[in-house]
A and B are shown apart, each in its own frame.
Chain A
């Protein structure tokens, strides 16, 4: 029993050590803009543009549900124009960034882990190195940078979609006029609302891409290793999104 605990503890420490080395190698690859500069726009398109459909789909239904949920919760005791307030605040500050990030942990993070894991086990990463490429500059930096830059863009679109469907749901399914919805939306609005959501999104993009790249490059042992890296990427990313969500709430909302 003690031996098992000891082995697991040693494995965890070794894993953190390897992740630390991965971060250091990635940071050292940043000046190699000649390598990553060529492919960052391709990665931005893959992470950003290609992720829009699933993000907009999720946001569309989230907006509708939020509007109806608000109306149900208010039960006549609270004026219904506050539906706009709840939809706006919740979408911009919480559900827009978090639900989008959870979806992209699967779409973007898992794809990266599977891609880089396959490249690792089929010696394509070694081939890159023998061709004098720094794999961190070629594979990791453009993905991480694209994640940091494009996650807020995707989330911004998701926020817009959620607000639109929330407005449509409120004005068609509830006794709320367009003017009332907008009044509620503007009631407690500050620019900090969307800024907070986008800052969070960027940090989610950072951790999801870092985890996907790290576990992908760390994959060993063929298909099973790649599968394990992919699964762990989704699990660890989801956990990190929720941890970061709480972290940003504690650090930014308490003093806002």
Chain B
């Protein structure tokens, strides 16, 4: 279980998260939606200790992430697969080495390592690409390698940071299918960050909308689809009537930014 409790995070004057509280239950896929710049990626980076909270906490299986020592944090990270928005593949390494990177921490025999990499690449429909360099792949293929790298370690949790952003609808659907397949094959608990409502409806068990640093609404796909909240409706329907987007960041941040702008 992953629990965000009263999470606060600011970058300089910009307060991104302000009392973000949310629980992700074991085995479910929870999708976090929200306007750009509202702190969705910031929230999940706290789960793997890439960021420390200013206030509040994130607990994974009862372990409070920001209090862990480096070796404890490493042990936690080895149970979490993270798929980055822009893949974050190691561009000086082959696909094999990229996917094997997490496995090398486990000192597996060479044969098993090779098999695990091949299996992970098969799961994302990229068999036989071991010798290819990341620069030779399309954006969609890079995302799939990023996914293979994350699932190769056989994680308990998967975190997806905008896995379909920048992809065409067909490739997005392929990635959605892979996320569903990963959940079914590995039984993982997942958090998916996305703007893409089609993807959210397709992969999510529950959806939470992040707004003004906190959760505006959380519910099943059906509950979110039927939401009467004008902010949620505006977002899921993609209405450009100006409501919501400009108010998406916390009030405190807008005040700080306004003061900064006036001073400048």
Contact = CB atoms under 8 A, between A and B. Distances in A.
A4 B201 CA distance: 51
A134 interface: yes
B50 A131 contact: no
A28 B82 CA distance: 25
Contact of A130 (B50, B70, B85): B50
B235 interface: no
Contacts of A126: 45, 50, 82, 84, 88
Nearest to A38: B104
Interface string B137-150: 00000000000010
B74 A134 contact: yes
B105 A122 contact: no
B250 interface: no
Contact of A132 (B74, B85, B86): B74
Interface of A is mostly: helix
B195 to A, nearest CB: 18
B48 interface: yes
Nearest to B102: A131
**Interface size bucket, B side?**
20 to 34
A235 interface: no
Contacts of A132: 74-75, 77-78, 102, 105
Interface in B58-100: 70, 74-75, 77-78, 80-82, 84-86, 88-91
A130 B105 contact: no
A245 B90 CA distance: 37
**Interface size bucket, A side?**
10 to 19
A127 B90 contact: yes
B82 A127 contact: yes
A50 interface: no
B86 A122 contact: yes
B153 interface: yes
B48 A127 contact: no
A139 to B, nearest CB: 11
B42 interface: no
A134 B77 contact: no
A126 B42 CA distance: 13
B252 to A, nearest CB: 23
Interface of A: 28, 119, 122-124, 126-134
